[in-house]
A and B are shown apart, each in its own frame.
Chain A
Amino acid sequence: MTRLRRFGDFWWEFVVGDDWRIAVGVVVALGVSAAIADSGHAAWWLVPVAVVLLLYASLRREARANRAAARR
């Protein structure tokens, strides 16, 4: 069990890394894109917009944590 867990942890860290919210956001954005494309509308723009928002939110969290640590 420990080995299996370590194996899973390794791959999680390898692919997802420090911010799991980015991975969740990408999956949601792709799901919504697929739904929009399926309804016959243009959906190519959604993922680039989602990438900017996800990156912005993640960097903002990191910057805030950094400033909070610096104040301590």
Chain B
Amino acid sequence: MTAVFLFASAFLASAVEMVEALTIVLAVGITRDWRSSLTGVAVAGVVLAAIVAALGPALTLLPLDTLRLVVGALLLVFGLQWLRKAILRASGLKALHDEREAFAHETAEARTAQVERHAGLDWYAFTISFKGVLLEGLEVAFIVLTFGSTQGSIPLAAAGATVAVVLVTIVGAIARHPLTRVPENALKFAVGTMLTTFGIFWSVEGAGAHWPGGEAALPAVLAFVVLTSIAFVYTLRRGEPVPA
């Protein structure tokens, strides 16, 4: 059961981040230079893989309770950040992320930027693609490392993230335009609830408390987080004055 959660969480988080990275890479590749843009993607991919490969084994050396407390707390803070934004977007208090708009913005910037060449590459195309993939990918690396280490299976989390990267890359290569039909905000909501659920579960265990029923409590925690989030969205959408 937790293996399914682990794979699904890493897959969804990676998919949603890679859709955003794809928009940047496509905008720069189409307007500037594909070779430089794809080189940036490849270098960022190597850096991300190195981060996971270096930090993964180091994390597994920590005592389990310390790992669960520290990583669980980080996951919870990080997850609440995602969930908070997702609730605000779903309730209309924050603008939805629009890939079409992001693509138009990136394309306009890429058209006006000066051409500067280093090592035979269009430096603008290289750095924007590199930064885009690295920054979006760092969130995925963080999720893979935290989820994977607390569950004792970084390879499974990495596999979930990799499948999403491959899938988004294939669809992006075929479509050659931003994936605007992907329900990005719904995916972010789902990832936020999963991050928060795992964060609550592992940090509580790490603090020395025990869940009634052990790991069987995980679906109940997930249901609690989902229902609470939906209740917040419903309340904020109705625009009721929030009681003091």
Chain A interfacial positions (CB closer than 8 Å to B): 14-19, 22-23, 26-27, 30-31, 33-34, 36-38, 42-44, 46-48, 51-52, 54-56, 58-60, 62-64, 66
Contact = CB atoms under 8 A, between A and B. Distances in A.
B78 A15 contact: yes
Interface string B68-88: 010001101110110111011
Given A44-B210, A63-B236, A52 B77 contact: no
26 contacts: A14-B138, A15-B77, A18-B81, A22-B84, A26-B73, A26-B76, A26-B77, A27-B73, A30-B69, A33-B208, A43-B204, A43-B207, A43-B208, A44-B210, A44-B217, A47-B76, A48-B221, A48-B224, A51-B196, A54-B80, A55-B84, A59-B232, A59-B242, A62-B84, A62-B88, A63-B236
Sort chain B's interface into a size bin: 35 or more
B17 to A, nearest CB: 13
B228 interface: yes
A68 B74 CA distance: 32
Which of A43, A62, A66 has the most C-beta atoms of chain B within 10 angstroms of its own C-beta? A62
B207 A33 contact: yes
B200 A37 contact: no
Contact of A22 (B81, B139, B207, B217): B81
Given A15-B78, A51-B80, A59 B88 contact: yes
B119 interface: no
A15 B206 CA distance: 19
